[in-house]
Amino acid sequence: MIGQMLFVPLLALVYLACLFMIAAYGDRAARLGRRLGGPWIYTLSLGVYCTTASYYGGVGIAMEAGLAFLPIYLGPVIAMFLSPLVLYKMLRIAKAYHITSIADFLAARYGKRSKLGILVSCIALIGVAPAIAVQLKSIAVSINLLRSGSVHDAPALANDTALYVALGLAAFTILFGTRQVDATERHQGMVLAVAFESAVKLVVMLAVGGYVVFWLYAGPADLSARAEAAGLDRLLTFDGTGMSGTDWLLMALVGGLGFLFLPRQFQVAVVENQDPGHLTRASWALPAYLLLFLLFVLPIAVAGILQEVPVPDLTILQLPIDHGAYALAVAVFLGGLSAAAAMVVVETIALATIVSNDLVLPFLLRTGWLSVAASADPSRLVLLIRRLAIVLIVLGGYLFFRLVGAHLTFIEFGMLSLLAAAQFGPPILIGMYWRDANWIGAMIGLCLGFAVWCYTLLLPAFVTAGFGGEELLARGPFGIDLLSPHSLLGFRALTPTGHAIFWSLLLNVLGLVLGSLLGHATGLDRTQAEMFVDVWSRADATRMWRGEVRIRDLRDMLQRFIGPERTAELFAADARRLGVRLPLEGRADARLVQTAERQLARAVGSASARALIGSMVKSESIGSRNVMEILDETSQLIRYSRELERKSSELERATQELREANRRLREVDRMKDDFMATVSHELRTPLTSIRAFSEIVRDNPELTEEERENFLGVVTRETERLTRLINDILDLSKIESGRMQWRSAAVSLATAVRDAVDSVTPLLDERKVNLTLDLGRHDLAVQADPDRLEQVLINLISNACKFVAVGKGRIQVVIVETGDQVELRVEDDGPGVPPGEREAIFGKFIQLGDRLTAKPEGTGLGLSISRQIVEAFGGTLRVETSRLGGAAFVATLKAAKPAVDAADAAE
Amino acid sequence: MTAPATAEDKRILVVDDEPNIVMSLEFLLRKAGFQVETARNGREALDALDREPPDLLLLDVMMPEFDGYAVCERIRQDQRWDRTRIVMLTARGRESERARGLALGADDYVTKPFSTRVLVEQVRTLLGVA
């Protein structure tokens, strides 16, 4: 078997992940402003009508009652053929007034009554539970069948599996549909995924049909011959259904109404519709889709009977398994998962929107609890409510499954939900064409219809499930036969389902009509009614607004729900319309209020929007006013505190930066101070000698000639020293301040070295130093200032001179070419520079040498200046150990095209 | 009443790392009649002090190894040299340094470059030589 414990659940998860990716792709496209849904996608998304109740249950009912599976699909076909009249108008109305759900539609049509919204929400919540239950059941049962192979064990095991399935689907739906509350309530990604699922279940259905007809049997002729031989031709006749013509009509009617007014159908057909023009193709493509979907239902049913499949509802899964076509069985499972997931996702998202916009938010606003709940901005509260609603709706489906699940066929579950949703048909359809239909009539009609549904369809389901009350079912309450759930007023001509349809819709319509005629309609009822009925001419018309709203209140309200930017845009547009300057003040006129309400409706639905606007009008009503104030304060406080937090961290950062800058400044200041003190010391020292010896010569005429010459020699040398020092300091200060005038030329290195050597010859001779040159190519050049380069060379060579031993010291100047770099090395056999001081010696006034003996001559600035000059040429100057044993000062420079070459080229 | 001391009795130690300055001070002080000894840094100065404590120390502040402050501090911690006068010489004319020298126990403080006549007079005064 395909019974590995985790294979099937894992496969299901992988498939759901794929769907999620499709949806994410669609959502991203939507965020980028691209629209993915064309008429085909729209058509396929309408296919969400075919849930597992159709997918598995269609064959199930066909095996028992033949063509009885058909009428609930005839309804949608008729509805699509009539769509230019009905669906098109619904679309126009929904778009004109920013309708977000079916409850919203009804509430808006009937004077924006939140009472009506609440009633619709409750009906939808209860009515949809059976349909969700059947999805959970079918997935759970099919998983267990795939795993165990035995259909008998499957239902028993299904309870737990169904719970996991329920939780999984709820989580999936939350991820899928409530990542953000978008103003339009559109879910492009979801629609894309749903369309994909519709395609998958159709393909699988066709594959199973083909497999059964052409693989298990030798084609349609063979199958029908065998069916005839087995006496199954009754399945193909009208009489074989056990239904009267009235039953057929009623079933078709409820199918059509359900197709239009199930929350999920309204969602995909109306709310998610991107272009009413898509209806043109959908009006024939959807019937075609249904035809293909149902094409093989009867043949498979016949095969199921011939092969004695134990559970009719699972025939399409059982047949491939029995014949070893496991891959097909898995495909069937995935098709069923598609049908179920699509239904659950769309239905719960639609319902969650209804619950939040028409049930919870109006309730919170009215009771004043919103202030307590509004710990964050309202859109997050809305998201939270929707997520909770999704979980509760799916768990409600699970509860229904546990209570009555074992005793209903798949199609019976589906029928329960269809008829519940069909109750919305009369108030919507009649309300779209009859302007006198009012909210009192709608309330009465809905209540009656829903009550009859509960009594004639839901109650018997519970009785069948063993909750007692068989007595009531058979003979009516208190033995009053006329009130029996299956034969009200003794009406027994129909099947129980047809009976329920007949009575519920009849009383619904009667209630609506009589209630509307007798009840009193207020002004707003009338306006709204006219806006719906005359949508073609009235959509953009200005409506009278009774009541006064301050513009400031309106602005504050809008900012909380649609954000400051959109609000500002809206008010700017209004100012342009009125030809006045911003900011707008005083009382809002009708048109502004209407615009604002429409914007709010896009975010929270029209009933909530109405309640919000209303709360501003009735400003003397303490309750709602308090709510708004508290809500206002909370969200503004939160915004302020976030702002404050941001500002204070910015401030802290700025302070930190300032402190750092200050520290650097002090450091620079201290370095400058030290430098000045050092300069002062270096200048005063020669001055001291000069002054002392000058005074000695002045005050001591008796000095010998030799002494006098000696002392004046000191004065001369110290004066020279002072001059060098001043020159160096000036050089350094020019380089560092960027005021040095650099010449730039291609300088032959060999020539520069020879010139420098000429300058230091006296010093070399004096100390009897052995200097050798190894200069390489004559035309090797660098881009530099020739005078400054010579200054560096003189500096390095005379530096070396001072440190080598007098009389036997050796100095070598070497030029090494490495790629586009040139290394100029001045090497000596002196004491060298210890590694720890190799950077320090390039500092200012740093002098090495035997400190216990004589101070080296020089200013202590030479190396610092040399390095800065070399760096100004784009090179580096460092010291390392020489091959001669002493120090090697290495200047690395970028090679330039030699000037000689340039001259040659020019000739 | 004791007769004023004569310059010939007084021994002066000149400490500076700048040979020309040492040479000029040695010439000036000998000319004034003092016995003069020289040292080129703080370490040599301490060695000379150990051998025979001088009456006065002309002490440069900025020297490698032991600088003038360190030598001054060392002398004032040792009782043997209680009677030795100290004159600090500095090329860094900062008031804070002058205060530091005096706080460490120097008797006088001279900023370079100095007037040779004034310096010799200061030395005579400190040693009580007429």
The partner residue sitting opposite A695, judged by closest CB among B18, B62, B116, is B116
Residue A184: which residues within 8 A CB-CB, separation 6 or more?
A98, A602
Structural domains in chain B, CATH included, are 11-124 (3.40.50.2300)
State both tokens at A587: 């009382």
* pLDDT band at residue A540 using 50, 70 and 90 as cut-offs: very low
- Is B19 within 8 Å of A854 when comparing Cβ atoms? yes
- Is B18 within 8 Å of A718 when comparing Cβ atoms? no
Among A678, A687, A695, the residue to mutate for chain B (most B Cβ within 10 A): A695
Is A203's pLDDT higher than 90? yes
Is A841's pLDDT higher than 90? no
Distances, alpha carbon A430 to alpha carbons A26, A434, A609, A834, in Å = 36, 6, 25, 103
Considering all CA atoms of chain B, what is the largest pairwise distance in Å, rounded to the nearest integer?
Answer: 45
User: Which range is most confident: A478-487, A585-594, A718-727?
Assistant: A718-727
Distance CA A243, CA A22 (A): 43
Q: Facing residues of A397 across strands?
A: none
pLDDT of residue A826: 92
Q: Could you tell me which residues of chain A have a Cβ less than 8 Å from any Cβ in chain B?
A: 677, 680-682, 684-685, 687-693, 695-696, 699-700, 711, 714, 718, 851-855
Is A636's pLDDT higher than 60? no
What 3 state SS string does A155-211 have? HHHHHHHHHHHHHHHHHHHHHHHCCCCCCCCCCHHHHHHHHHHHHHHHHHHHHHHHH
Q: Please name the residue of chain B whose CA is at the shortest distance from the CA of residue A684.
A: B91
- The separation between CA A596 and the C-alpha centre of its own chain, rounded to angstroms, equals 27
- Is B64 within 8 Å of A688 when comparing Cβ atoms? no
- Is B112 within 8 Å of A688 when comparing Cβ atoms? yes
Distances, alpha carbon A867 to alpha carbons A682, A795, A796, A836, A890, in Å = 21, 11, 10, 18, 10
Chain A contacts of B27, Cβ < 8 Å?
696
Q: How far is A799 from chain B (nearest CA, A)?
A: 20
Chain A contacts of B113, Cβ < 8 Å?
684, 687-688, 690-692
Q: How far is A727 from chain B (nearest CA, A)?
A: 20
Chain B contacts of A718, Cβ < 8 Å?
20
To which residue do tokens 């502040």 refer? B61
Chain B contacts of A695, Cβ < 8 Å?
115-117
Rounded to an integer, the average pLDDT of A416-430 is 90
Distances, alpha carbon A728 to alpha carbons A391, A573, A861, in Å = 84, 72, 7
* pLDDT band at residue A370 using 50, 70 and 90 as cut-offs: low
Instruction: Give the DSSP per-residue string, A491-513.
Output: --SS-HHHHHHHHHHHHHHHHHH
Distance CA A275, CA A296 (A): 33
Chain A contacts of B40, Cβ < 8 Å?
852-853
Helix axes A102-109, A425-433, angle to 10 degrees: 40
Query: pLDDT tens-digit profile of A6-58?
Result: 777 788 888 888 888 888 888 888 777 777 778 898 999 988 888 888 888 88
pLDDT of residue B15: 93
DSSP state of A65: H
The number of C-beta contacts closer than 8 angstroms across A and B is 72
Q: Please name the residue of chain A whose CA is at the shortest distance from the CA of residue B116.
A: A692
Cis preceding linkage at A485, omega within 30 = no
Instruction: Report which of residues A256 and A564 the model is more confident about.
Output: A256
Exposure string over A587-620, b if 16+ CB within 10 A, otherwise e: ebbeebbbbbbebbbbbbbbbbbbbbbbbbbeee
Among B112, B118, B119, the residue to mutate for chain A (most A Cβ within 10 A): B112
pLDDT of residue A615: 65
Is A630's pLDDT higher than 70? no
User: Which range is most confident: A332-341, A467-476, A567-576, A739-748?
Assistant: A332-341
Q: Please name the residue of chain A whose CA is at the shortest distance from the CA of residue B27.
A: A696
Q: Could you tell me which residues of chain B have a Cβ less than 8 Å from any Cβ in chain A?
A: 17-21, 23-25, 27-28, 31, 40-41, 43, 62, 64-65, 91-94, 111-117
Asked which of A163-172, A306-315, A863-872, B89-98 is least confident by mean pLDDT, the reply is: B89-98
| Percent of chain A with pLDDT strictly greater than 90 | 11
The CA-based angle B27-B29-B30, given to 5 degrees, is 65
pLDDT average per 10 residues of sequence, chain B (130 residues): 70 91 94 92 87 90 82 86 88 74 85 91 87
The partner residue sitting opposite B24, judged by closest CB among A677, A692, A853, is A692
Distance CA A49, CA A256 (A): 11
Query: pLDDT tens-digit profile of A278-337?
Result: 888 888 999 999 999 998 888 888 888 888 888 888 888 888 888 888 888 888 888 888
- Is A691 within 8 Å of B91 when comparing Cβ atoms? no
Rounded to an integer, the average pLDDT of A176-200 is 75
pLDDT of residue A692: 94
Query: Domain map of chain A by residue range?
Result: 7-406, 424-541, 543-621, 649-736, 742-906
* pLDDT band at residue A179 using 50, 70 and 90 as cut-offs: low
User: Which range is most confident: A584-598, A826-840, B28-42?
Assistant: B28-42
Query: pLDDT tens-digit profile of A655-694?
Result: 888 888 888 888 888 888 877 878 888 888 899 999 999 9
* pLDDT band at residue A581 using 50, 70 and 90 as cut-offs: low
Element (H, E) at A397: helix A378-404
- Is B18 within 8 Å of A688 when comparing Cβ atoms? yes
Q: Could you tell me how many residues make up chain B?
A: 130
pLDDT of residue A151: 54
Fold (topology level) of A649-736: Helix Hairpins (1.10.287)
- Is B41 within 8 Å of A693 when comparing Cβ atoms? no
3-state secondary structure of A6: coil
* pLDDT band at residue A627 using 50, 70 and 90 as cut-offs: very low
Rounded to an integer, the average pLDDT of A695-711 is 91
pLDDT of residue A728: 86
* pLDDT band at residue A460 using 50, 70 and 90 as cut-offs: confident
DSSP state of A587: B
DSSP state of A768: T
State both tokens at A427: 């108030």
The partner residue sitting opposite B41, judged by closest CB among A685, A696, A852, is A852
Q: Is the dihedral of CA B117, B118, B120, B125 positive or negative?
A: positive
The partner residue sitting opposite B91, judged by closest CB among A688, A852, A853, is A688
Asked whether the beta carbons of A74 and A258 are under 8 A apart, the reply is no
Burial of A313 from C-beta contacts in 10 A (0-12 / 13-18 / 19+):
buried
State both tokens at B59: 């002490």
- Is A685 within 8 Å of B91 when comparing Cβ atoms? yes
3-state secondary structure of A831: coil
Pairing mode, strands A781-784 and A887-896: antiparallel
Is A110's pLDDT higher than 60? yes
pLDDT of residue A706: 92
Cis preceding linkage at A460, omega within 30 = no
- Is A685 within 8 Å of B65 when comparing Cβ atoms? no
- Is B21 within 8 Å of A692 when comparing Cβ atoms? yes
Chain A contacts of B41, Cβ < 8 Å?
851-852
Distance CA A344, CA A342 (A): 6
Distance CA A795, CA A889 (A): 11
Rounded to an integer, the average pLDDT of A250-258 is 90
Asked whether the beta carbons of A261 and A424 are under 8 A apart, the reply is yes
What ipTM does this complex have? Answer: 0.93
Q: How far is B116 from chain A (nearest CA, A)?
A: 6
Q: Facing residues of A826 across strands?
A: A813, A889
Residue A384: which of A411, A355, A358, A408 has the closest Cα? A355
Same fold, A7-406 and A649-736: no
- Is A718 within 8 Å of B40 when comparing Cβ atoms? no
Is A905's pLDDT higher than 60? no
pLDDT of residue A616: 65
Q: What is the mean pLDDT of chain A?
A: 80
Q: Please name the residue of chain B whose CA is at the shortest distance from the CA of residue A675.
A: B92
The CA-based angle A37-A43-A49, given to 5 degrees, is 120
Residue B106: which residues within 8 A CB-CB, separation 6 or more?
B59, B72, B86, B87, B88
Chain B contacts of A682, Cβ < 8 Å?
91
Instruction: Report which of residues A361 and A890 the model is more confident about.
Output: A890
Among B30, B92, B98, the residue to mutate for chain A (most A Cβ within 10 A): B92
Chain A contacts of B96, Cβ < 8 Å?
none
Q: A742-906: which CATH number, 3.40.50.2300, 3.10.450.350, 2.40.30.260, 3.30.565.10?
A: 3.30.565.10
- HSE, CB side, 13 Å, CA atoms: give it for residue A164: 13
* pLDDT band at residue A639 using 50, 70 and 90 as cut-offs: low
Asked whether the beta carbons of A396 and A92 are under 8 A apart, the reply is no
Fold (topology level) of A7-406: Sodium/glucose cotransporter (1.20.1730)
Distance CA A437, CA A523 (A): 13
Is A92's pLDDT higher than 80? yes
